[in-house]
Amino acid sequence: SRFSRSVETIRYTLKKFDDDHPQARIFPTKRGKLDLETKQVLYDQYRSGCSAAQLGRQYDRTPSTIHRIVNEMRARKIVELSLDFVDSDEFHRRGAAKKILAPLPQPEKPPRKARVPKGLPAYLSALYEVPLLTKEQEQHLFRRYNYLKYRADKLRNTIKLTSINTSLLDEVNGLYQQAVETKNDIVQANLRLVVSIAKRHMKDTQDFFALVSDGNVSLMRAVEKFNYSLGNKFSTYATWAIMKNFARSIPTEFRHQDRFRTSLDELFMLQRDIRTNQFQQESDQRLRQQQVGVILSRLNDREQQIIISRFGLDPNREPQTLKEVGLEIGVTKERVRQIEAQALDKLRQAVSQAPLELP
């Protein structure tokens, strides 16, 4: 070496100097191990811009020790990441990454410009400029989102806090960030759904923007829990998730839903997404109409009108609130609720006798 001494000899010489001259030590005095709370403070300082040299002086540690602590805390944060994913056989096939991480498929025809509801603030109106996803795009994004989390989780499980590989940390963090970006793409494409539901179910005394904010949280949770591999349409699942959240925000409006929430939740999860085949869709729709017609025949005219209006079974109209239905048929909101509850009891009994098949 340039000093004509071995590394161990140099280390011993420097250590002896420190022992003999404590007031002029070359290396800082170790003051015992830093606890986890102190390491967290150090890590936050480092992320805020403090250099390893600055932190070394503050904590009586060498810069290399500071870097080791920073990497340890990075590893701990990654180990604690929420990486729950919906597994699929697709993830384990050869060449899965190339297919799943391919660019988003583009629709054959450009999407039609959405009609913006009247009276929305500019920043909410801007949501309608984001095109809705096609079935292929929706499946692609959910597959990608869960695959990225699957890959990140698989690598995350190999992290050892006692021997940290910074390249491994970078790779896991990169996969996680891609998953977050993919989730944001899905959420952005469905935000208008929250606005639409909030407008239909808001009371005069409620804060519309608070309702939208709550709905957005439900939407994000729905993205995390949605099982794309079942072939369902996400908007159906998300609508029910948002409605369940609003049931807590608007208890009087949705009190009756608490009684049959689970059965409808399961029904939505079983409903297939049939956007691909137009002829099959028309055939299935005719079958559904016949089956629904048989079921609805158990109700009297007023009950049928209320159920059709409340649940949007008329394709030319959106679902109506209790108040809107009451004004239309000339009864109070409370009376509409009572008739609706009676009708739903009849429908549940009818469906149990002749199950409704949802293609």
CATH code for the domain of 117? 1.20.120
Which residues make Cβ contacts (< 8 Å) with residue 60, sequence separation at least 6? 28, 29, 30, 31
> Across residues 60-86, what is the average pLDDT?
93
Residue that finishes a domain, picked among 252, 268, 293: 252
Residue that finishes a domain, picked among 218, 252, 286: 252
> Residue 189 corresponds to which tokens in the numbers above?
């494409």
Q: Are residues 156 and 296 in the same domain?
A: no
Q: What is the number of structural domains in the chain? A: 3
Confidence of residue 278 (pLDDT cuts 50, 70, 90): very low
Q: Are residues 239 and 281 in the same domain?
A: no
pLDDT at 95: 93
Predicted TM-score (pTM) above 0.85: no
Q: Are residues 95 and 64 in the same domain?
A: no
Q: Are residues 112 and 198 in the same domain?
A: yes
In this structure, is residue 271 part of a structural domain? Answer: no
In this structure, is residue 195 part of a structural domain? Answer: yes
Examine the pLDDT at 350 and tell me if it is beyond 70: no
Residue of 107 and 290 predicted with greater confidence: 107
In this structure, is residue 268 part of a structural domain? Answer: no
Where b means 16+ CB within 10 Å and e means fewer, 112-151 reads eeeeeeeebeeebbebbeeebbbeebbbbbbbbbbbbbbb
Q: Are residues 105 and 71 in the same domain?
A: no
Are the C-beta atoms of residues 52 and 63 closer than 8 Å to each other? yes
Four-residue CA torsion sign, 242, 81, 130, 97: negative
Examine the pLDDT at 170 and tell me if it is beyond 70: yes
Confidence of residue 273 (pLDDT cuts 50, 70, 90): low
> Across residues 155-184, what is the average pLDDT?
94
Examine the pLDDT at 206 and tell me if it is beyond 60: no
> Across residues 59-66, what is the average pLDDT?
92
Q: Are residues 118 and 200 in the same domain?
A: yes
pLDDT at 124: 73
Specify the DSSP element, H or E, that contains 96. helix 96-100
C-alpha 145/C-alpha 139 separation (Å) is 10
Residue of 212 and 43 predicted with greater confidence: 43
Instruction: Provide the residue range defining the domain that includes 109.
Output: 83-252
Q: What is the pLDDT of residues 224-258, one digit of tens each?
A: 999 998 888 999 899 888 888 776 655 544 444 44
Examine the pLDDT at 27 and tell me if it is beyond 90: no
C-alpha 336/C-alpha 305 separation (Å) is 10
Residue 232 φ then ψ, to 5°: -80, 165
In this structure, is residue 304 part of a structural domain? Answer: yes
Residue of 8 and 263 predicted with greater confidence: 8
In this structure, is residue 32 part of a structural domain? Answer: yes
C-alpha 81/C-alpha 173 separation (Å) is 10
In this structure, is residue 261 part of a structural domain? Answer: no
